[in-house]
Amino acid sequence: MPRYLSLIRIDENNTPAEGPSPELMQRMGELIEEITKAGVMLDTAGLTPTAQGTRVHWENGQLSVTDGPFTETKEVIGGYALMQCKDKAEALEWTKRFLKVHEEFWTVTCEVREIAEG
Protein backbone atom coordinates (compact mmCIF):
# COMPACT_ATOMS: atom_id res chain seq x y z
CA MET A 1 0.00 0.00 0.00
CA PRO A 2 1.25 3.50 -0.76
CA ARG A 3 2.48 5.82 1.96
CA TYR A 4 1.50 9.47 2.19
CA LEU A 5 3.07 12.38 4.02
CA SER A 6 0.73 15.08 5.25
CA LEU A 7 2.71 18.26 5.94
CA ILE A 8 0.78 20.35 8.45
CA ARG A 9 1.24 24.03 7.69
CA ILE A 10 0.35 26.76 10.17
CA ASP A 11 0.72 30.53 10.39
CA GLU A 12 3.03 30.76 13.39
CA ASN A 13 2.19 34.45 13.84
CA ASN A 14 -1.53 33.74 14.33
CA THR A 15 -1.57 30.70 16.59
CA PRO A 16 -2.63 31.02 20.24
CA ALA A 17 0.34 31.95 22.45
CA GLU A 18 -0.69 29.26 24.93
CA GLY A 19 -0.78 26.65 22.17
CA PRO A 20 -3.60 24.23 21.38
CA SER A 21 -6.46 24.07 23.89
CA PRO A 22 -6.85 20.98 26.08
CA GLU A 23 -10.08 20.20 24.19
CA LEU A 24 -8.26 20.31 20.85
CA MET A 25 -5.50 18.07 22.20
CA GLN A 26 -8.11 15.58 23.43
CA ARG A 27 -9.95 15.50 20.08
CA MET A 28 -6.64 15.18 18.24
CA GLY A 29 -5.53 12.35 20.54
CA GLU A 30 -8.79 10.47 19.99
CA LEU A 31 -8.48 10.82 16.21
CA ILE A 32 -4.82 9.76 16.21
CA GLU A 33 -5.78 6.70 18.28
CA GLU A 34 -8.52 5.85 15.76
CA ILE A 35 -6.16 6.29 12.77
CA THR A 36 -3.53 4.16 14.48
CA LYS A 37 -6.01 1.37 15.31
CA ALA A 38 -7.13 1.42 11.67
CA GLY A 39 -3.53 0.60 10.70
CA VAL A 40 -3.12 3.85 8.78
CA MET A 41 -0.93 6.04 11.00
CA LEU A 42 2.76 5.15 10.82
CA ASP A 43 4.12 8.24 12.60
CA THR A 44 3.04 11.74 13.54
CA ALA A 45 4.45 14.66 15.53
CA GLY A 46 4.35 18.38 15.98
CA LEU A 47 7.47 20.44 15.43
CA THR A 48 9.07 23.06 17.66
CA PRO A 49 8.65 26.73 16.62
CA THR A 50 10.88 28.11 13.87
CA ALA A 51 12.63 30.24 16.49
CA GLN A 52 14.29 27.00 17.59
CA GLY A 53 15.10 25.85 14.05
CA THR A 54 18.05 26.26 11.72
CA ARG A 55 18.09 26.43 7.92
CA VAL A 56 20.97 25.01 5.94
CA HIS A 57 21.00 26.30 2.35
CA TRP A 58 23.07 25.20 -0.66
CA GLU A 59 23.47 27.59 -3.59
CA ASN A 60 26.20 28.08 -6.19
CA GLY A 61 28.47 25.62 -4.41
CA GLN A 62 28.20 27.46 -1.08
CA LEU A 63 26.55 26.47 2.20
CA SER A 64 24.90 28.97 4.49
CA VAL A 65 23.43 28.32 7.93
CA THR A 66 20.75 30.59 9.42
CA ASP A 67 19.23 30.23 12.88
CA GLY A 68 15.51 30.96 13.40
CA PRO A 69 13.21 32.65 13.77
CA PHE A 70 12.64 33.25 10.09
CA THR A 71 10.73 36.52 9.98
CA GLU A 72 10.05 36.41 6.24
CA THR A 73 8.13 33.16 6.64
CA LYS A 74 4.38 33.33 7.12
CA GLU A 75 3.33 29.72 6.75
CA VAL A 76 5.55 27.04 8.32
CA ILE A 77 5.46 23.29 8.76
CA GLY A 78 4.10 22.77 12.26
CA GLY A 79 3.95 18.99 12.14
CA TYR A 80 3.50 15.94 9.96
CA ALA A 81 1.62 12.67 9.66
CA LEU A 82 2.99 9.63 7.86
CA MET A 83 0.13 7.38 6.76
CA GLN A 84 -0.21 4.15 4.82
CA CYS A 85 -3.48 4.19 2.90
CA LYS A 86 -5.09 2.18 0.12
CA ASP A 87 -5.15 5.31 -2.07
CA LYS A 88 -4.93 9.10 -2.06
CA ALA A 89 -8.66 9.45 -1.45
CA GLU A 90 -8.32 7.64 1.89
CA ALA A 91 -5.32 9.80 2.85
CA LEU A 92 -7.36 12.92 2.06
CA GLU A 93 -10.34 11.71 4.13
CA TRP A 94 -8.15 11.21 7.22
CA THR A 95 -6.52 14.60 6.61
CA LYS A 96 -9.90 16.34 6.39
CA ARG A 97 -10.94 14.74 9.67
CA PHE A 98 -7.71 15.99 11.26
CA LEU A 99 -8.39 19.55 10.10
CA LYS A 100 -11.98 19.47 11.40
CA VAL A 101 -10.90 18.77 15.01
CA HIS A 102 -9.45 22.31 15.16
CA GLU A 103 -11.44 25.25 16.50
CA GLU A 104 -12.70 27.72 13.88
CA PHE A 105 -10.07 30.38 14.71
CA TRP A 106 -7.20 28.11 13.60
CA THR A 107 -5.79 28.40 10.09
CA VAL A 108 -4.24 25.07 9.15
CA THR A 109 -3.33 23.68 5.73
CA CYS A 110 -2.23 20.13 5.06
CA GLU A 111 -0.26 19.25 1.96
CA VAL A 112 -0.74 15.54 1.22
CA ARG A 113 1.87 13.89 -1.00
CA GLU A 114 2.52 10.28 -1.90
CA ILE A 115 5.97 9.04 -1.00
CA ALA A 116 7.90 7.94 -4.10
CA GLU A 117 8.94 4.33 -3.62
CA GLY A 118 12.15 2.89 -5.04
Tell me what the pLDDT averaged over the chain comes to: 93
Higher pLDDT, 75 or 7: 7
Which tens digit of pLDDT belongs to each residue from 37-47?
999 999 999 99
Q: Considering the chain, what percentage of its residues have pLDDT values greater than 90?
A: 75
pLDDT confidence band for 69 (50 / 70 / 90): confident
Higher pLDDT, 17 or 6: 6
**Residue 52, CA distances (Å) to 10, 46, 67, 68, 69 in order:** 16, 13, 8, 6, 7
Q: Which positions ≥6 away from 90 have C-beta within 8 Å?
A: 40
Mean pLDDT of 62-76: 85
